[in-house]
Structure 1
Amino acid sequence: MFRIFVIAVLPLFFVFSSEIFTFLSGALCPSCNCESAKPLHRIPRPQLRPEFLALENGTDARLGCEDVGYKMHVFSREPLVVYFENFVSAREREHLLDISEKIYTPSTITHNGGQTSDRNTKVRDSEVALVPRTEGVRCIERRAREVQGWREEVWIERLRVQRYNPGGHYSHHFDWSSGRGGWGRVSSFMVWVHGEELEGGGTEFPRLELRGDKKKWCKFIECEDNLDGEDSKDKGVETAEDKKGAVFKVIPGNAVYWENFRSDGTGRGYNETWHAGLPVKKGVKVGLNIWSYGRID
């Protein structure tokens, strides 16, 4: 009986093999870059909520923002990951620390596309402050918006300052969540506000491939030093040239930006954006999250 069943099914397999492969590819690897991925089904734009989004009110053009003179370095083009030197000034960092000091609350983890949340210090151990939209904060919002080219149907989320005390961390996760209906958190900034005399606490992207001039990148990412000036490969030490992934150092004022979704019309998130805030071993780390919500292209 089984042999008869197999003989009967085999012709169907060959006829529908491509469809079967497409289904299995999507089920086993939903964010793989497959040519056969289905187009995104988009729903109407959800209601914009000012309690979560930094909506422009027509006065942003009159803000007296300082020119911080930041520098940009492209870490990766696919996905787009850009490193910034001096993205926020010393005065802006001091302002962020002042306005967040009295409003910190325990950080939580969101589920179901932000519909529910809970606190789990094994996964995320930090404090968060949803900062008021002062003129200084709105200047940072505008800067983050300008970097992204004033894209249509993309809005900066309300800025959040995160504080990590010794032992504080955030385990590996994605910012992009589900991207349900063609709308979601399209991009992320991690900005370092405070971290003097800090040990640990770097931002790790274990799936990003290290490219370009590795020795120059060691200024901004953690790299193993050579032993006594000898060839570290002979000593079995992993160097920037052969290291996979990247851990960005906590350098106050600097920032790293990344795109969360592929621009191929499928709504798939990048697996390479899986990242973590590594545990703080000594000192206090303060970071600023700048997320952008909007249309997934």
Structure 2
Amino acid sequence: MFRIFVIATLPLLFVFSSEIFSFLSGVLCPSCNCNSTKPMARIPRPQLRPEFLALENGTDATLECEEDGYRMHVFSREPLVVYFEDFVSAKEREHLLDVSEKIYMPSTITHNGGKTSDRNTKVRDSEVALVPRTEEVRCIERRARAVQGWREEVWIERLRVQKYNPGGHYSHHFDWSSGRGGWGRVSSFMVWVDGEELEGGGTEFPRLELRGDRKKWCKFIECGDEVVSEDVKTAEVRKGVVFKVIPGNAVYWENFKSDGTGRGYNETWHAGLPVKKGIKIGLNIWSYGRID
């Protein structure tokens, strides 16, 4: 009898295999949305929490900020990755170091869309400071917002300064989670604040491809001896890149595709490599909002 039942159900399993797989994927791994092509189900905008978001107010127009002096270079178009020279000035870097020095806390790892967190130094070994929104900090917020074109329903998260002592690191991870309901961390800046006498500590994107002349990028990425020869093909595609720690410079990337599915970019898988010598200070600028 059981054998007859199994034989009878096999055609049904074959016909509905894709639906069954999709259902099980959603149950077992709700954040695994990378391969989904279905439009995401949108929910109303979550409540905006000023303790986590740098919400604008009527006084922002009165800020007296330094004139932007950065230079930008498009590293990748899909996903969009942009490199900035001099994104924060020497004066701004000094201010960030001053306001963060006495408020560092051990860094934690968040789970379940930020509902829970724990400390695991095998994954993330650093200290973090949620910096106060001084005028200098708000000017950096405004600059990061302007880079993104003042997008509708996108807000800068409160700025966080990260401190990595020798051995400090952050293993490979995504900044985005599931993007459930059409809301999530839509973009990221990694800004280097300090690390003049540093060894190691670069930011690695092992899945990101560099197209074009790698030799011209060696000013900003780790190249080693691979581009010494003049015979290197400038159009060759190479996968994997490590951005050097250059104080004042920054790299920006988009976390989600804009195809309506809410899928995150696999290429944004990245890590803060271990610091071998010295201290690395970085600034995270994340943007939260509606996934387009």
Q: What root-mean-square deviation, in Å, do the aligned CA atoms of Structure 1 and Structure 2 show?
A: 2.7
Equivalent residue for 2:74? 74
Moved more, 7-16 or 86-95: 7-16
Equivalent residue for 2:274? 279
Q: In the TM superposition, what whole-angstrom CA distance separates every residue of 1:111-149 from its partner, at most 9, and x where no partner exists? A: 111111111111111111100000000000000000001
Once residues 61 and 291 of structure 2 are traced to their aligned partners in structure 1, the CA distance between those partners, rounded to angstroms, is: 26
* CA contact 1:215–1:240 (8 Å) conserved in 2: no
Residue type of the partner of 1:42?
A: R
Shift in alpha-carbon separation, 1:278–1:9, aligned structure 2, 3 A:
same
SS in 2 for 1:245: strand
Equivalent residue for 2:174? 174
Once residues 227 and 256 of structure 2 are traced to their aligned partners in structure 1, the CA distance between those partners, rounded to angstroms, is: 40
Matched, 1:260 2:250: no
Shift in alpha-carbon separation, 1:210–1:25, aligned structure 2, 3 A:
farther
Moved more, 178-187 or 241-250: 241-250
Once residues 185 and 191 of structure 2 are traced to their aligned partners in structure 1, the CA distance between those partners, rounded to angstroms, is: 17
Following superposition, the deviation at residue 10 of structure 1 comes to 6.2
Matched, 1:290 2:282: no
Once residues 241 and 16 of structure 1 are traced to their aligned partners in structure 2, the CA distance between those partners, rounded to angstroms, is: 43
Equivalent residue for 1:50? 50
Shift in alpha-carbon separation, 1:130–1:227, aligned structure 2, 3 A:
closer
* CA contact 1:31–1:270 (8 Å) conserved in 2: no
Once residues 291 and 255 of structure 2 are traced to their aligned partners in structure 1, the CA distance between those partners, rounded to angstroms, is: 9
Equivalent residue for 1:111? 111
Equivalent residue for 1:102? 102
> What 5-or-longer segments of structure 1 have no aligned partner?
234-238
Q: In the TM superposition, what whole-angstrom CA distance separates every residue of 1:220-268 from its partner, at most 9, and x where no partner exists? A: 11112159869799xxxxx995642111000000000011111111111
Following superposition, the deviation at residue 197 of structure 1 comes to 1.0
Shift in alpha-carbon separation, 1:3–1:188, aligned structure 2, 3 A:
same
Residue type of the partner of 1:77?
A: R
Shift in alpha-carbon separation, 1:227–1:205, aligned structure 2, 3 A:
closer
Q: How many residues in Structure 1 have an aligned counterpart in Structure 2? A: 290
* CA contact 1:223–1:240 (8 Å) conserved in 2: no
TM-score by length of 1: 0.88
Query: Equivalences for 1:224-263 in 2 at 5 Å?
Result: 224-226=224-226, 243-263=238-258
Equivalent residue for 1:236? none
Percent of aligned positions that are identical:
87
TM-score by length of 2: 0.90
Shift in alpha-carbon separation, 1:228–1:12, aligned structure 2, 3 A:
closer
Shift in alpha-carbon separation, 1:151–1:232, aligned structure 2, 3 A:
closer
Following superposition, the deviation at residue 33 of structure 1 comes to 5.0
Following superposition, the deviation at residue 42 of structure 1 comes to 1.1
Residue type of the partner of 1:60?
A: D
Following superposition, the deviation at residue 68 of structure 1 comes to 3.1
Once residues 126 and 34 of structure 2 are traced to their aligned partners in structure 1, the CA distance between those partners, rounded to angstroms, is: 32
Once residues 41 and 253 of structure 1 are traced to their aligned partners in structure 2, the CA distance between those partners, rounded to angstroms, is: 39
SS in 2 for 1:294: strand
Residue type of the partner of 2:45?
A: R
SS in 2 for 1:146: helix
Once residues 161 and 40 of structure 2 are traced to their aligned partners in structure 1, the CA distance between those partners, rounded to angstroms, is: 33
Once residues 288 and 19 of structure 1 are traced to their aligned partners in structure 2, the CA distance between those partners, rounded to angstroms, is: 43
